[in-house]
A and B are shown apart, each in its own frame.
Chain A
Amino acid sequence: MTTQNLDDFLMLVSRDLDGEATAEDRATIARIAASDPEAAAARDALLDQSAALRASAEPIHPPLGLANRVLERVPAPAPAPTSRSFGWGRVAAAAMVMAFLGLAIATVDPFGGAPGERLSANPYESVQDAMRERAQWIEIGVTAETADRIVAIKREAYDLWAAASDRFSGSELADEQARIDRETTARIQATLTPAERTLWEARNGPLPEGR
């Protein structure tokens, strides 16, 4: 049997292994295997390999409390808007929230320098913008790993702000967003290594210690 023919035969065996073969496919497999010992051996090896792979899959149990940790950090989905509540009032509220988010991103960033375009939309919806943000942090002097963590923290902050805007209004909303702002600032500062802090402060002055 040529290599190409053997490949075609094993493709049928692979399909059969996955329960996707037709009766005709199975008949072809049986006929070829019966007449060609090399093909039969190749089929058996593939079956053994697949059986070993499936048998090697030990049950995986998540770490204790993982679901709770997820729930602590992931906001519940925002309630779907109803036709009654969706209107100009909501648009105006959204505009206020976006303005707040713009302010928040500028203040959350302990190093300042948030580009203006990030004030008008969630910067982490766009991979390009997230990568640009990451590059800015690397330019400041942090490692790529730290930059990734910071971008992730800020992305989470936007999610939390957005969720807060659906749950709170007025002074409650401002308080909630200020709380998220403080926590995010603290998390970003905590993610810097001592060397990164020193490097940055040498170039840019002392880091704020939170507000």
Chain B
Amino acid sequence: MSTASMQTRSGTREDDGARARDAALITRALSGEEHAFRELVEHHTPRVYAVALRLLGNQAEAEDVTQDVFFKVSRKLDTFREEAALSTWLYRVTVNAATDHMKKRRGDRTALVEDLERLPIEDHGDRPDEALQRGDLRARVRDAMDQLPDVFRTIIVLRELEGLAYEEIASVLSISKGTVESRLFRARAKIKAILERTGDDQEPTGRDS
């Protein structure tokens, strides 16, 4: 099974073939062909699930979100506009559904986006590179991702892991390209600050004699 349609990388567009295929499947599904809807679900389920899992970090919740997404797709398919890529719409529905789960899970720990946009960025302080070299950088970056506020994790997942371009992210999150850029910058600064902090935690407190 191919999962290509949502796997666009930076700077690339979903190809016309995939878009035409999705458009044809949607038309057939809306004319009552259940097989066409099945094909749409089978084709897009892997990517929807992967995005949900990356955002939520929990398989059961990711599966619930996948169900929710296709419920919404089924109900709203007739409102889909062909000028937009189906993958962009699916990203948007998936992010919204996952965000609802995150809010439910975290309750009032979820800060408002507006508040986050006003948060100061931590001082750069010492270079983290020496500390980073000591440990497994990948694992530490993953841990740092888990500590990010939802709004920052979402944009990092869309950009760094899903490879969406600024314009696509702006469309998925309904924000401007400028906000995409500044939010990404802040998210990266936040990761850096977390890495520096955890790096400091791992520093020996004294020199062995």
Contacts and interface: CB of A to CB of B under 8 A. Distances in A.
Interface of A: 3, 6-7, 10-11, 14-15, 18-20, 41-42, 44-46, 48-50, 52-57, 60-63, 66-67, 69-71, 73-80, 148, 156, 159, 162-163
Given A55-B138, A80-B31, A148-B104, A74 B181 contact: no
Contacts of B192: 45-46, 49
A18 B159 contact: yes
Contacts of A159: 71, 74-75
B16 to A, nearest CB: 21
Contact of A50 (B31, B50, B140, B188): B188
A76 B156 contact: no
Interface of B: 10-11, 29-32, 34, 37-38, 41-42, 45-46, 49-50, 53-54, 59, 63, 66-67, 70-71, 73-75, 77-78, 104, 121, 123-124, 127-129, 132, 137-142, 145, 156, 159-161, 165-166, 181-182, 184-185, 188-189, 191-192, 195
A79 B78 CA distance: 8
Contacts of B67: 69-70, 73-74
18 contacts: A7-B121, A10-B189, A14-B188, A45-B132, A46-B192, A48-B129, A48-B132, A52-B137, A52-B141, A53-B156, A60-B54, A62-B49, A63-B49, A63-B63, A74-B41, A75-B74, A76-B74, A80-B78
A97 B50 CA distance: 37
A128 to B, nearest CB: 15
A14 B128 contact: no
B41 A71 contact: yes
A73 B73 CA distance: 13
A3 B188 contact: no
Q: Mostly helix, strand, loop or mixed at chain B's interface?
A: helix
B10 A18 contact: yes
Nearest to A6: B124
Given A76-B29, A77-B29, A70 B124 contact: no
Given A3-B124, A45-B128, A52-B137, A57 B161 contact: yes
Nearest to A162: B75
B138 A52 contact: yes
A75 B166 CA distance: 34
A19 B10 contact: yes
A10 B161 CA distance: 20
B31 A71 contact: no
B50 A60 contact: yes
A20 B121 contact: no
Given A48-B132, A156-B71, A53 B50 contact: no
A42 B104 CA distance: 37
Contacts of A19: 10-11, 165
Nearest to A45: B129
A34 B43 CA distance: 48
A77 B75 contact: yes
Q: Max chain B CB contacts within 10 Å: which of A61, A74, A77?
A: A77
Given A20-B165, A62-B66, 17 more contacts: A14-B185, A44-B129, A48-B129, A49-B188, A53-B141, A53-B191, A62-B50, A63-B63, A66-B45, A66-B49, A70-B41, A74-B71, A76-B32, A79-B30, A79-B31, A80-B30, A162-B75
